[in-house]
Chain A
Amino acid sequence: MRYDHITDLIGNTPLLRLDPAVHGLPRVQLYAKLEFFNPFGSVKDRVAWGMLRDDLAGIVAGGRTLIEASSGNTAKALRILGALHGVGLRAVTNRIKVTEVRELLQLFGTEIEELPGLSECPDPTTPNDVYSVIEATMARSPGTYQHLSQYTNEKNIEAHYHGTGREIHEDLARDGIGGVDYLIGGLGTTGSTRGTATYLRKHNPELRTIAVVSERSDFVPGIRSETELWDVGLFRPDFYDRIVPVTAARAVDATVELATGHGVLAGPTSGAAYAAAREVLAAETAGDGPPVVAVFIVCDRLEPYLSYLRKRRPDLFGRTAARVPAPTAAELAAVPVLSPAQLADLDATARPTIVDTRGAMAYRIGHVPGAVNIRDDQLDDMFAQGIPFSRSRPLVFVCPVGDASTRFAALARRAGFDAMGLAGGVVAWRDAGRPLESAPAADLRG
């Protein structure tokens, strides 16, 4: 299909029916509204465009900069939409917790203002919540900024009423499905669930709206905990039939299930919605009864959350695959260890390969002269493939205090290397008064 402008691609996202054999809810037709088909990748493209469209000409004419409370998808969409017209964005946020999200915003030239953490002993006269900071910033330079205010702007809701909700209804109606029984969605600004559910309720007043929030003091990017929602102007607690908290751990598991079970590569908020949908629907559709139609909102794509996922589930990221079995106690006991003096002698006579297993900074500051630096985790990865050193020379591992080096030496000996460890590690070397060689950091040279 051809288009004339990127904004023409906002909305009209697909509605995907999920296989009941995979989601395991026999009475439920479960649909995922795939908002990541929006051009900048998220459900917020609708909101950003909805809030900006009518005011854009005025903002451009006035030379104003957008200012918004967002650390994620809304900021990304506003930044791109603004950039297309030469309009800047200042994003005021509490600390952005997802690295890739921050980097994307930086890549596009967003001005990011991250507020410091809350003082334990705060002064009530110097508030540092995002809204007060935005108000103060605007008051200081009148006419400079335009605050679209996604957390209070009714256009946020309207974008979903006329867009998301209507599209879901029309797509299902074409299939002869007259009404939706359940709508499940995460609450950030609350605009998507409110707008969508309001439209769907027109056609089925019995619609049950299930709001998904993060567990108290847990963090799922894009949604808030219930108490955090008290600060959201659009939030109406009575609007929802249920508010379901989901832990980050469950959201991550469900995110992976969505990808591998349904081919839906979505971010953790969508995982949280999928987890909540399954929990609620399993309980409410147990036993016999009429079929049920349920829709949940898939907000954005998976890829920007890799670091978030890795932090919570490092076990899912490699390193578990082909690891050599750990050395036995006998193998460890058989490792010859060198005193600092013995290592110095060996170095003078036998040209050993000396491997420092510590991180780069420690190596730069000071290492046994001539040692090469291969970090312990990199060595583990390498050993799984084979040991990349010359067999014709003795091999000496050096670590901070002598434990990791013994382990690597044992593994290398198993593979037939003449491998040893430095007893007591770099600490012993230093304490014996031996010289350390340093390698200045790249950014310190010159």
Chain B
Amino acid sequence: MTAPPALPAKWHPLVRGFLDTPGAAQRAVHRFGSPVHLLFPQVFADNLHRLQRVLDAQVRRYRICYAHKANRSRALLRTGEYAGIAVDAASPQELAAAVGAGFTADRIEVTGPKGESFLRQLVGTGVTINVDNLWELDRIADLARGHTRVPVLLRVSGFPAAGVSRFGVPLAEVDAALAVLAEQRPWLAFRGFSFHLDSGELGERVAAVQECLALVERACARDLSPSVLDIGGGFRQVFTADADRFDGYVAALRESLRGRGEPMAWGGNTFGFHLDDTGVRGTPVFHKYANTVPATGMLADLLAAPLDAHGGRTVAQVVAENLLDVWLEPGKALVDHAGITVARVEFVKRAADGSVLVHVDLSRDTVTPADQEVMVDPVVLPGPSGAGSGGAPVGVFFAGRLCLERDLITNHKVWLPGCPRSGDLVVFPNTAAYHMDLSAASASMHPLPPKLAVLHRDGGYRVCRDIEYDPVAAVAESDRAVPGAGGRL
């Protein structure tokens, strides 16, 4: 018999080791209740080191601003602070969290569109404001006039052949912005240009860098002296452990959408595919799970990309010789594999169409960002009462706890080695990047799951509340304790 279609998840060895430690997950749930989010700050530190190695090899001066929006965890934020990097805060609350975690103003950048009250709060603090629009720029100058000079970056958007963005100053308005920056020089300290792209396309990033370099020259012509090029975030994650099996699953899913083979989609879901008489076409909404290029590879390729407008000199070369510091704002790349979510199986039932529904005690919005389908298989662990689930492989849908027809945690069928039983634990892999927080609501008065931090130390795992985690105690140990990918614990 061939193995059923599967979406095997990639695991960081440290997380794998935790799940392989008998009773570890069960003890955490027993102590703190279910469901819970578990965070692994040492994995965050590991991701950070990998990005730093890429940057060290190619650029002289850079700054990593952790995009805090990826996860509310204080443990991860503290880990970034302790490692000496900067932070990208996108709301007054994130700013407060960053300050509370020890970031000083010179290591804080505020991004995203900001309203009047947030701007009033920011001016005078010394944090760098990454300006989203001309209104903001004018307001900052007004608020600063006469008493302070505000460091600003200018976020630009609307690059050729890129998707239209609702953020940033369109290229056509940059001259107007430069005029303001030049006129209001006593109150605005212009640091440089910034962009952030939502796609993983290398060519698009290279084009954006090239446009920004041209803007640097235009700014210099106005005697502004930009010293920063902020290339934003968007460095991708790798979710799958086996791209071929992932492709195999998608192939089977497409066949099932055409009515061939076993049904694999809940209800009328088509995952963004278009069905017509020529078949199943288009790009599925979950295409990011097919990615195999890690953030480090994307970053290295970007820095080494030749620029047409610069005689083929690379991004890293042109940036260096123009004395620009590279800033980046990785969110998901830093928290990749640094979190999992554990829920409990309440019961298993059958729907009228014969589908097996595994009900768990959390809802879709707690493990999926912006309602996106998550295409990596959860793992089922025996519950606190022990005893494994047995029997033959079974294809199931995971169902959530809300009174909403659409509260399915998976709209695609997941094959498990055996049918789960009440009390078993379901572990959702790699949920730290936006999955935990972006959409989670407290509908039906369900509280948000607590966050715990897991520390690997002395060959074992310690679990504490996320807010109590102290990287100072962890870090000396971690250099030894964090195994590389593929390493064994």
Contact = CB atoms under 8 A, between A and B. Distances in A.
A118 B201 contact: yes
Interface in A412-446: 426-427, 430, 438, 440-441, 444
Contacts of A216: 243, 247, 292
B198 interface: yes
Contacts of B163: 116-117, 119, 128
Interface string A342-364: 00000000000000001111101
Chain B interface bracket (under 10, 10 to 19, 20 to 34, 35 or more)? 35 or more
Interface string A118-144: 111111100111011000000000000
A358 B281 contact: no
B287 interface: yes
B272 to A, nearest CB: 4
Q: Is the interface of B mostly helix, strand, loop or mixed?
A: mixed
Contact of A361 (B213, B280, B285, B308): B213
Contacts of B221: 438, 440, 444
A127 B283 contact: yes
Nearest to A116: B163
A119 B198 contact: yes
Contacts of B201: 95, 116-118
A441 B270 CA distance: 52
Interface stretch (B2-10, B117-125, B131-139, B312-320): B312-320
A173 to B, nearest CB: 37
A430 B225 CA distance: 12
Interface in A223-269: 226-227, 230-231, 233
A230 B278 CA distance: 11
A41 interface: no
Contact of B161 (A95, A120, A359): A95
A400 B316 CA distance: 13
B282 A127 contact: yes
Nearest to B306: A311
B278 A233 contact: yes
Interface in B223-253: 234, 236, 243, 247, 250-251
A217 B318 CA distance: 28
B200 A118 contact: yes
Interface in B259-311: 270-272, 274, 278-283, 285, 287-288, 290-293, 306, 308, 310-311
Contact of A129 (B200, B283, B292, B372): B283
A359 B306 CA distance: 13
A120 B199 contact: yes
Contacts of A124: 270-272, 285
A328 interface: no
A97 B282 CA distance: 20
Contacts of A361: 213, 216-217, 310, 318, 322
B311 A360 contact: yes
Contacts of B198: 119-121
Contact of B287 (A118, A230, A362): A118
Contacts of B274: 127, 132
A336 interface: no
Interface string A143-173: 0000000001000000000000000000000
Contacts of A97: 203
A365 B318 CA distance: 12
A278 to B, nearest CB: 24
19 contacts: A99-B308, A116-B161, A119-B199, A120-B234, A122-B285, A128-B163, A216-B243, A216-B292, A217-B243, A359-B317, A362-B322, A364-B217, A366-B220, A399-B321, A400-B323, A427-B323, A430-B323, A438-B220, A438-B221
Interface of B: 60, 161-163, 197-201, 203-204, 213, 216-218, 220-221, 234, 236, 243, 247, 250-251, 254, 270-272, 274, 278-283, 285, 287-288, 290-293, 306, 308, 310-311, 313, 317-318, 320-323, 369-370, 372
Given A120-B200, A227-B250, 6 more contacts: A117-B201, A117-B203, A118-B283, A120-B198, A132-B282, A359-B321
